[in-house]
Structure 1
């Protein structure tokens, strides 16, 4: 059975319309899922013009009318992002509202079981706030909207290397106080589950240290001794393939050498800088732990190249592939249960 997937157009002022249109012009990808496109028809046509592709999609105005099939996506016209009034490369309330409306409908459809996965082209956080969001990012918005109280986290993926983190969008000054055994184990559990859904039977996870040189035996901090190492031992006792803590300036060398499938870092930039240097042009962000797999390219809205037709489609392709794999895995797990 083919995955039912919602393809959500993100910020209309960015490269999202172009990426959405160009993805829909790739017949090999389209055959892998039954795709419902959630976007403004006029803005999608503008994206196709910018991207130099031609689209011919059935258009509906209500989700209940849509009957997408593999190789035959359907456009749900939201009529909420007029290219005549949205300025390219400018974050706006109108663009933020349209993005939120598109994403929210995708979440509604997932909650109702109408779609099994969501892929969205990049959002702009400033525009989202202008458009009415009170959440710091898309992950928290999705969890809040779905009323989901369970553990959830953001993962970044380049090629076959996954990046997970214990803390995310918090001030650096707050990080050390948030590093607890419970937090580390919770995020390791999420990471194991997400990678298994993505096709790793027994994922190997390298845990990064917090302090320089992994604390140097306590000379530069004791978090490694008192918190991180004990959490790693408890994770091993649960049967997970976990090791560390490794110095953060070398831990990604282990992953690149094939000794780990994922790295669990302690804070945002500790992993983000490394993973983007490894392959910014191939990165995918996975919103993990939620009731529905949600993936997006890891890059931003790229206001600096809007309208040039040069946006890199590869991260969006990869996001699509990961979302399909995760949805298929969840379905198989549900059937087995």
Structure 2
């Protein structure tokens, strides 16, 4: 049944942060390679350094079919000196981007079903020459296949998606359409199903205070959001809303919803980080390959202490296995 396992490309994130330690600790767990076929993008020195960071050992191979993580060279020239630790650097950013570029190429070549990257540092990436606002926009550039990323945020008990993302608040209302709400709802629903929720219950946020108060504070709920929810219900989806954003997460925490679709970035992010910042997973959905990462950063202050929590990375691995399994099944259908 090994040919049915999801194939996941892993990268170790910014070499100056805690990413290498988190990956090594995951790979030292005996159940990791029983759940997925792993492609480790980097080089041998990076893996040895990661093992030293974590105080663990694990075996790998350069050939598939051995039941071990497969080391895939990223094709980049490693700096002659060791990467600086506990700091954002151009060299670290270049290395992290080379690993991610190779992982995205593996996807384009049909080698992997999902990508999981350890924490990055945006300052390192911009020092290395990334001109896009964030890594998700950079993924779109590298894939160059017409797909567009949208961010989903995952906790074990709740998953959120969003209709608009990294844009000024002044542009949010213009970016919300009936069709886009339906599209992003279905994407969120698919991720929940991949995570084992058979019939996801999803609440849809309003845009305006008090859900517009029957048009007194805006008509987006009347003209756009409510009709989109009606479209989803008519198609058999368990959609509810729109709910005011100051109450929907009270309902979700109570267990009324498996997922929440928000209208803009902070509408969901503030709530999710309050609910579980150290357990959260970020996923780039909507691309031709799902890409997952822990929601926290590189934690330079914890490098070398072996005290970093692995919880969010473990959840990110679980999420990558779920969506990778779904993608592999769809490809084989």
Moved more, 117-126 or 199-208: 199-208
* Residues 1:83 and 1:26: Cα distance change in structure 2 (over 3 Å): farther
> Partner of 2:249 in structure 1?
252
Matches within 5 A, 1:1-337: 1-58=4-61, 60=62, 66-67=63-64, 69-70=66-67, 72-78=68-74, 80=77, 84-336=81-333
Q: Can you give the 5+ residue segments of structure 2 that lack an aligned partner in the other structure?
A: none
TM-aligned CA deviation for residue 313 of structure 1: 1.0
- State how far apart, in whole Å, the 1-side matches of 2:237 and 2:319 are: 22
Q: Can you give the 5+ residue segments of structure 1 that lack an aligned partner in the other structure?
A: 61-65
TM-aligned CA deviation for residue 151 of structure 1: 4.9
SS where residue 37 of structure 2 aligns? strand
- State how far apart, in whole Å, the 1-side matches of 2:125 and 2:135 are: 9
- State how far apart, in whole Å, the 2-side matches of 1:134 and 1:195 are: 32
TM-aligned CA deviation for residue 245 of structure 1: 0.9
TM value normalised by structure 2: 0.91
CA contact (8 A) 1:81 1:95 kept: no
- State how far apart, in whole Å, the 1-side matches of 2:143 and 2:171 are: 28
TM-aligned CA deviation for residue 326 of structure 1: 1.6
- State how far apart, in whole Å, the 2-side matches of 1:334 and 1:45 are: 34
* Residues 1:39 and 1:221: Cα distance change in structure 2 (over 3 Å): same
Aligned length: 329
Moved more, 217-226 or 251-260: 217-226
CA contact (8 A) 1:4 1:117 kept: yes
- State how far apart, in whole Å, the 2-side matches of 1:278 and 1:146 are: 33
SS where residue 57 of structure 1 aligns? coil
TM-aligned CA deviation for residue 214 of structure 1: 1.7
TM-aligned CA deviation for residue 324 of structure 1: 1.4
Per-residue deviation, residues 224-251 of structure 1 (Å, max 9, x unmatched) = 2222212211222222211111111121
* Residues 1:3 and 1:185: Cα distance change in structure 2 (over 3 Å): closer
TM-aligned CA deviation for residue 159 of structure 1: 0.5
- State how far apart, in whole Å, the 2-side matches of 1:83 and 1:211 are: 55
Please provide the CA RMSD for this pair.
2.1
- State how far apart, in whole Å, the 2-side matches of 1:96 and 1:81 are: 12
Per-residue deviation, residues 83-132 of structure 1 (Å, max 9, x unmatched) = 94422222121111111110111111111112222111011122112212
CA contact (8 A) 2:6 2:328 kept: no
